[in-house]
Amino acid sequence: MIWGVLQFPGSCDERDALHACEVVGGEARLIWHEDRDLSGVDGVVVPGGFSYGDYLRAGAIARFSPAMEAVAELAAAGGPVLGICNGFQVLCEAGLLPGALLRNQELRFVCKQADLVDDQGATLSIPLKHGEGRYYAPEAMLDELEANGQVAYRYADGHNANGSVRDIAGVRNERGNVVGLMPHPEHAVDPLTGSTDGRKVFEALERFA
């Protein structure tokens, strides 16, 4: 499959995501934030970083970019969309995913390797690095997400470094084709730099392509 990786001014991890898509076996290309046309990619990664400097609120400006209009259409058509860190924040701001990301409980940026548990019960070792990664949604919405199987990833016991409600690290939309998570699977595809568990996060979306 062909992945497109969005590039906003202030993106940081777009080259890492591009590389990860290639490692997972896909083809990948960068998509400039002003491009309304996704030029035929099968899926999109909205990468980490500080799009538009995270001014106003993380992800709040990026959601209005032309490329995000195209991403919304791809999502509506059932295509795979993966939001990582700032990309997760952007997808929440765009209303493509439920909930919001707040400042970490400790009010500090945190970078560390963490264990996640996916909805199959498998444990994945994937790094996280963010200052605004505390997942929040109202209780009723959380109950609904859990009932619908929309909680894609949770922090394992003792690995919730940001105070996310119900240890939620990542969520998906109802259809399952849009996934966002705070940890960075694109930084977990090479044994030399950590682990390779991040590949599973990309692979889990391939069936929507």
Q: Which residues bind another protein (CB under 8 A)?
A: 9-13, 15-16, 19, 48-50, 52-55, 108-112, 127, 129, 131, 184, 186-187, 190, 192-194
Instruction: Give catalytic status of residue 184 as yes or no.
Output: yes
Instruction: Indicate the residue among 10 and 176 with the shorter CB distance to another protein.
Output: 10
Q: Per the structure block, which two tokens stand in for 129? A: 């690095």
The residue annotated as part of the active site, out of 85, 130, 132, 159, is: 85
Minimum CB–partner distance for residue 71 and another protein (Å): 20
Check: CB of residue 207 under 8 Å from CB of residue 40: no
Instruction: Indicate the residue among 84 and 178 with the shorter CB distance to another protein.
Output: 84
Minimum CB–partner distance for residue 76 and another protein (Å): 29
Instruction: Indicate the residue among 35 and 144 with the shorter CB distance to another protein.
Output: 35
Instruction: Indicate the residue among 56 and 122 with the shorter CB distance to another protein.
Output: 56
The DSSP bridge pattern shows strands 2-7 and 43-46 to be parallel
Distance between CA atoms of residues 7 and 182, nearest Å: 18
The residue annotated as part of the active site, out of 130, 159, 184, 187, is: 184
Instruction: Indicate the residue among 176 and 194 with the shorter CB distance to another protein.
Output: 194
Decide: residue 192, CB within 10 A, 0-12 exposed, 13-18 middle, 19+ buried.
exposed
Instruction: Give catalytic status of residue 85 as yes or no.
Output: yes
Minimum CB–partner distance for residue 174 and another protein (Å): 32
Minimum CB–partner distance for residue 139 and another protein (Å): 31
Distance between CA atoms of residues 20 and 198, nearest Å: 9
Please, where are the H alpha helices in the chain?
A: 14-23, 66-76, 86-93, 139-147, 198-203
Minimum CB–partner distance for residue 6 and another protein (Å): 14
Of 189, 160, 143, 6, which is closest to residue 86 (Cα–Cα)? 6
Instruction: Give catalytic status of residue 69 as yes or no.
Output: no
Decide: residue 147, CB within 10 A, 0-12 exposed, 13-18 middle, 19+ buried.
exposed
**Which residues on adjacent β-strands are paired with residue 179?**
82, 172
Active site residue ranges: 85, 184, 186
